[in-house]
Amino acid sequence: MPVAQSSHLQAYEYDPASQTLTVQFTNGAVYTYAGVPETEYHNFAQSAGSGAYFHAKIRGQYRTTQLVGSMRNRSRR
């Protein structure tokens, strides 16, 4: 997975066949975003601030599935 240029995003991966963007956040959460066009992915990957681009253009715009929850939200023993 490429490393994101962001304080909130850790890494991301894109599958052009399914147009699915997978994003790993610094808190450990992993989400997929379905139906992301390849041009949108390239704009995201090449942006100087991938976190800002993600929040402006991807978050809330595509069908989202949470794969892994945040490590911060889990109870400590």
Nearest partner of 3 among 21, 23, 19, judged by Cα: 23
pLDDT confidence bin for 1, thresholds 50/70/90: low
The pTM assigned to this predicted structure is: 0.83
Q: Given this model, what pLDDT does residue 77 score?
A: 38
Bigger pLDDT: 1 or 14?
14
Phi, psi for 74 (deg, rounded to 5): -85, 145
Q: 17-65, pLDDT tens digit by residue?
A: 999 999 999 899 999 999 999 999 999 999 888 888 999 999 999 999 9
Ordered by start, the domain boundaries in the chain are 9-70
Tokens of 14: 């894109």
